[in-house]
Amino acid sequence: MARNTGPRGRVCRRLGIALSNITAKDPDKDPVLRRPYPPGQHGATARPSVSDYGQRLREKQKLKLFYGLLEKQCRKAFLEARRSPGNTGTVLLQLLERRLDVVVLRAGLATSIRQARQFVRHGYLQVDGERVNIPSYRVRNGSEVRFASTHKELLIVKECFERMKDRQVPGYLQVVEGGQGVRYVREAEREEIPVNVNAPFIVEFYAQRV
C-alpha cells in the first residue's frame, strides 16, 4: 500500500497548519506553534509572494495533508465529485469523509489519520460485523464501525475507548454502546467537516488540469 511517510511537521510549517489540529500531538511540542514560519535557512525572514496558482496549489496540498492522501487518490476523488450532482467542492469533502480511516479518526478511535489507517490495514476494524482492511472503503449510511472482538483487549484499543467516552463526534456520526463503536447516520454537512480548506480553489486547481 502506497502511503506518505514523510515528515509532517515540515509540511505543516510550510502550509501554516498546526500539527495539533490534525493529530493528538501536545500543543506545547507542536513545531508549527513553536516556530510559526516555513522551514529552511531563510524561512523566518523570507516574505514570498504567492500567485493565484500558488494559492490553489496550497489549498490542494492542505486537503491531502488533512486526509493523508496521495496525489492520485486526491485526483480520483475530485473526478468522482465532479460527476456527482451538487456543489463539487462540498461533494468532494463528503466523499472523503466517508472513507473508513476518516470515520475512525472522527469517532476518536485514533489520534491521527496515520494511526486510523494502520488500525484498518491491520484488520482491527469491522463494518457491520465484517472485517474491512481497506482504508479507502466507503462507509454507507446506517453502517456501524467498531473494533473486532479479538482486538478489544489490546492496550492501545482500550486507550481508544477511554478517549471516545468524552469525545464529541460530528453530527453525522452516532456513538453506539457507550463508546464501543460509531454509526454513520447521514451525509456530512460542510460546516460539520473539521477541515479548513478553500474547496472552490481546489476545484479550480483540478478543473484546469483534467
- Tell me how crowded residue 175 is: count the other CB atoms within 10 A of its CB: 17
CATH 3.10.290.10 fits 97-190, yes or no: yes
Q: Where are the domains of the chain?
A: 1-48, 97-190
Question: Candidates 2.60.40.420, 3.10.129.10, 1.10.1050.10, 1.10.3720.10; correct CATH number of 1-48?
Answer: 1.10.1050.10
By CB neighbour count within 10 A (0-12 exposed, 13-18 middle, 19+ buried), where does 129 fall?
exposed
**Mean pLDDT value of segment 143-166:** 81
CA distance 40 to 38: 7
pTM of the model: 0.86
Q: For 56-85, how does the pLDDT look when each residue is reduced to its tens digit (9 = 90+)? A: 998 998 898 889 899 999 999 999 999 999
- As a whole number of Å, the end-to-end CA separation of the chain is 25
Q: For 34-63, how does the pLDDT look when each residue is reduced to its tens digit (9 = 90+)? A: 676 667 655 666 666 778 888 899 899 889
Spatial contact of 21 and 62, defined as CB atoms under 8 Å apart: no
